[in-house]
């Protein structure tokens, strides 16, 4: 079934990844990017941020067409899941250098981290947002590596790959990333 879905985000890198994935794996779905900066609530969980943001778009902005948005975060195990839902704020304030400093005394298993994306999809104004979660497991590299990707990608070494996300092409990252897993869950639901 042919379908057009709006993707609300201010992050062009997310759009690139999702559009490439949809082109490769779901030709019947057209993604229309709209750059709308909804107020991101500081909630304790990535799920709640995604759900409340979608409700805001549906109720306050009266979006009637099918749309989704997503909230993502990096959860460092030894830091009790920090920066998690505060990933955007923390990236702006201390960046990857700051994260490396927080991790100086952490070795081996202590560097484990999870990348998580929660996609919130609204089919119609009457329906509550549906959530689709994707995770990728890995560890925080000893230093930044790679020129690709964005955000925390130079620091996130994907489990077993020996490569950071920034050392992968968009295609390679899309095979395994948190975002691609969450988006595939949405595609499964739609088909
Ligand atoms: P929108 O909320 O407008 O979609 P954003 O960039 O603010 O865009 P998030 O709050 O979801 O998006 O992102 C939290 C932070 O995590 C932000 O600094 C991103 O750069 C970073 N991030 C998200 N996904 C990432 C990925 O796949 N690889 C590396 N960093 C990522």
**The pLDDT of residue 150:** 98
**Residue range 68-89: mean pLDDT, rounded:** 96
Contact 134, 185 (CB under 8 A): yes
3 state DSSP class of 35: coil
Asked if the 3-190 domain carries CATH number 3.40.190.10, the reply is no
Using the predicted structure, report yes or no on whether residue 84 has a pLDDT greater than 80. yes
Position 126 confidence tier, pLDDT thresholds 50, 70, 90: confident
All residues at 6 or more sequence positions from 12 whose CB lies less than 8 Å from its CB, including other chains: none
Contact 117, 178 (CB under 8 A): yes
Q: Which of 71, 92, 105, 153 is catalytic?
A: 71
Q: Output the pTM of the full model.
A: 0.96
Where does residue 92 rank: exposed (0-12), middle (13-18), buried (19+ CB within 10 A)?
exposed
Position 7 confidence tier, pLDDT thresholds 50, 70, 90: very high
**The pLDDT of residue 163:** 97
pLDDT in tens, 57-76: 999 888 999 999 999 999 99
Q: How many helices (H) and strands (E) does the chain have?
A: 5, 7
Mean pLDDT rounded to a whole number for the chain: 95
pLDDT in tens, 101-120: 999 999 999 999 999 999 99
Q: Is 105 a catalytic residue?
A: no
**The pLDDT of residue 39:** 79
Q: How far apart are CA 160 and CA 121, in angstroms?
A: 31
**The pLDDT of residue 40:** 73
Q: How far apart are CA 9 and CA 12, in angstroms?
A: 8
Contact 71, 50 (CB under 8 A): yes
Ligand 1, atom 28: nearest CA belongs to which residue? 153
Kindly give the distance from the C-alpha atom of residue 87 to the centroid of ligand 1, in angstroms, as a whole number.
Answer: 7
Q: Which of 72, 118, 120, 168 most suits a substitution to test ligand 1, by most atoms within 8 Å of the C-beta?
A: 72
Using the predicted structure, report yes or no on whether residue 41 has a pLDDT greater than 80. no
Question: Which of 179, 99, 172 minimizes the C-alpha distance to 139?
Answer: 99
**The pLDDT of residue 121:** 98
Q: Which residues line ligand 1 (CB under 6 A)?
A: 9-11, 14, 40, 71-73, 87-88, 91, 149-153, 165, 177, 179
Query: To 10 degrees, the CA torsion angle through 184, 157, 137, 20?
Result: 0
pLDDT in tens, 136-168: 999 999 999 999 999 999 999 999 899 999 999
């Amino acid at each position: 079934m042919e379908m057009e879905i709006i993707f609300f985000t201010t992050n062009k890198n997310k759009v690139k990844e999702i559009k490439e994935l949809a082109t490769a794996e779901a030709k019947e779905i057209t993604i229309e990017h709209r750059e709308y900066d909804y107020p991101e609530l500081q909630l304790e969980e990535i799920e709640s941020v995604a759900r409340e943001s979608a409700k805001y778009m549906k109720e306050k902005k009266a979006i009637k067409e099918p749309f989704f948005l997503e909230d993502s975060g990096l959860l460092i195990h030894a830091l009790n899941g920090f920066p998690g839902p505060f990933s955007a704020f923390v990236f702006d304030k201390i960046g990857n250098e700051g994260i490396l400093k927080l991790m100086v005394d952490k070795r081996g298993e202590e560097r484990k981290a999870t990348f998580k994306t929660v996609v919130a999809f609204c089919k119609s104004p009457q329906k509550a947002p549906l959530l689709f979660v994707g995770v990728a497991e890995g560890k925080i590299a000893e230093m930044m590596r790679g020129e690709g990707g964005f955000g925390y990608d130079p620091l996130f070494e994907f489990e077993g790959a020996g490569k950071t996300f920034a050392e992968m092409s968009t295609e390679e990252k899309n095979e395994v990333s948190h975002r691609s897993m969450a988006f595939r869950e949405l595609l499964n639901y739609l088909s």
